[in-house]
Structure 1
Amino acid sequence: MTKPEEKMDPEQEYFEKRAEAELELAQSATHPGVVKAHYELAGLYLDIVHGEPEHSESDAGVEEQGEGVETGED
């Protein structure tokens, strides 16, 4: 995943190997829920390796409270 000339720190290397393992597990799994879980874990590990900000499911696609909600009040 990284260029051979780039030296990763041991922690990043660990998480990259975990991501690769999770991808392999996802590809060999047969139950859709298991496949999804392995891909999600792989994504989280890759976020760590590449320095992406952490996010939770509650952050994804959630609008600000009150935004887009009609209350009927004027």
Structure 2
Amino acid sequence: MSQLKRHVGETPVSSSLPTDSDDVMGGKEPERILDRTTVKRGNNVVTKVLVKWKHQLIEDATREFFFDLKKYPDFNP
């Protein structure tokens, strides 16, 4: 026997779609690079960077592939 209750009423539907300004990183914008490191990815060596995002705490900085920052043409590391 199911413990779920039948929904009564309208189902909320979002009619807004993401805009071009929204990106894969959730609308974040890089502020500065805190650290760099190189990692092996397959047969290639690539650079990963620790990114401090605008309007975010420094503790919320994330590691990103350096080449992914090309998505931000106004950001000049």
**If each structure's strand is expressed as a fraction of its own residues, which one has the higher value?**
2
| Higher RCO, 1 vs 2 (CA within 8 Å, ≥6 residues apart) | 1
Q: State the structure with more CA Rg.
A: 2
TM-score band, normalised by the shorter chain? under 0.3
Please state which structure has a larger fraction of its residues in helix: 1
Q: TM-score, normalised by structure 1?
A: 0.23
